Structure 1
Amino acid sequence: MFKTIPFAKGVNLHIRQTTQFKTVNFSIKWRRPLTAESASERTVLTNVLQHSNAKYTTTAAFRSSLDDLYGTVLYFDTSKRGNEHTVLMNVEAVNDQYLANTSVLNEVLGLLHTAIFEPNLENALFKESIVAREKKMVIQRIESIFDDKSRFAQLRLQQILRPNEPASISANGTVEDIERITPASLFAAYQSMLANDKIDIYVAGDINEDEMVAKLKHALPFQDRTPVEIPAILPQKHPQNDYVREQHDMKQGKLHIGFSTPVKFGDADFAKMQIFNGVFGGYPHAKLFMNVREKESLAYYASSSYASHYGLLFVVSGIEAKNEEKAFSLIKEQLAVMQAGDISDLELEQTKAMLTNQLKESLDSARGQIEIYDQYKDLPEEFSFETWANKWKAVTKQDVVEMAKQVQLEAVYFLCGKEQAAQ
Structure 2
Amino acid sequence: MAVQPATTNTNANPEDGLVQREPKNKSWVKKFLIVLAIGLLVFFGFRYYSNHAKPQDAKAAESTKRDPNRRPATVSAVAAKKSDISVYLNAIGTVTPRSNVVIRTRIDGQLMRVLFNEGQYVKQGDLLAEIDPRPYQVQLAQAQGQLAKDQALLKNAQLDLERYKTLLDQDSAPEQQVATQNSVVSQYKGTIQTDQSQIDNARLQLTYARITAPISGRVGLRQVDAGNIVHQSDANGILSISEVKPITVVFSTPQDNLAAVLAPLRKGVKLPVEVYGRDQKNKLAQGFLQSADNQIDTTTGTVKLKAQFANEDESLFPNQFVNVRVLLGVNKDVTVIPNAAIQRGSQGTFVYQVQGDQRVTVKPIKVIVTEGEFSSVEGGVSVGDLLVTSGADKLREGAKVQLGKENAGGGDSRAGKRRGGRSDARGEGHPQAGAGNDRQKRSAGQ
Task: Give the TM-score normalised by the residue count of structure 1.
Answer: 0.18
Of Structure 1 and Structure 2, the greater helix share is in 1
Structure with the largest fraction of strand: 2
Relative to the length of structure 2, the TM-score reads 0.17
Larger Rg: 2
